Structure 1
């Protein structure tokens, strides 16, 4: 994803609703782009968010490409988080599974814009992992996460 906001080496507190999460990006590491190297959480309740794909309410995968499917999967994840009392700034860790990592990288800027529009500029610790296929055979991306709610 495109452009983390914090300066390299900076420790930044999350925005409203994410009190107690601190993004840690050591200056001697490559500057993070669209993720944080680490997120330290103050005591709170851990919420484990199951992998979400681009399923609509009827159980169909929607979206023709990686960007559209990422947007729907992230929307689904944020909806589940909200139902658990967590907002975007409470996300401490996300894992993105992509069936085509090269396509994900090719569209990283667009995916980054989707992230900023839906989740803001607080980035969790993240990883993108290539997957041969996902549970939903037509899914291009799946997102799972951990949130910390106070």
Structure 2
């Protein structure tokens, strides 16, 4: 059984997320927050879009390491140092999402933060997935 994404008509139409995701019984994978670290532990990407792409790729690598696929994501939190910059580049960030993940969105939240663990990091993504 696949996940069911629900966006009640009584609520505002979501853009870039789903209001509710119902997952069938399965194994739950809790994915640690990922920033734009490369394999050598260095932050890569000169701007928010490049860093988002690397952070999301890292999260998907972690997910695939346990047999998961992007469609198994049920929830994601995006921690953002520069919310105005993120919003200004939302279309580009959405294009990265569609290229790496596809058209479906998990339940998501974007949270503005003062800083992340690595001073150079502009964005961090954390997720939960339900695996079949």
Shorter-chain TM-score bucket reads: over 0.9
Query: Relative CO higher for 1 or 2, CA cutoff 8 Å, sep ≥ 6?
Result: 2
- 1:135 corresponds to which of 91, 112, 117: 117
CA deviation string 1:51-104 (max 9, x = no partner): 000000110000000000000000000000000111000000000000011111
Gaps of 5+ in 2: none
Is structure 2 residue 27 aligned with structure 1 residue 45? yes
Q: Which residue of 2 aligns with 1:64?
A: 46
Following superposition, the deviation at residue 20 of structure 1 comes to 2.8
Gaps of 5+ in 1: 1-18
Q: Which residue of 1 aligns with 2:105?
A: 123
If the length of structure 1 is used for normalisation, what is the TM-score? 0.87
The aligned length equals 132
- Computed over aligned residues only, the root mean square deviation of the Cα atoms, in angstroms, reads 0.6
- 1:147 corresponds to which of 108, 129, 132: 129
- Runs of 4+ displaced beyond 4 Å: none
Q: Distance in 2 between matches of 1:91 and 1:59?
A: 25
Q: Which residue of 1 aligns with 2:7?
A: 25
- 2:77 corresponds to which of 95, 105, 124: 95
Q: Which residue of 2 aligns with 1:3?
A: none
Q: Which residue of 1 aligns with 2:96?
A: 114
Q: Which residue of 2 aligns with 1:73?
A: 55
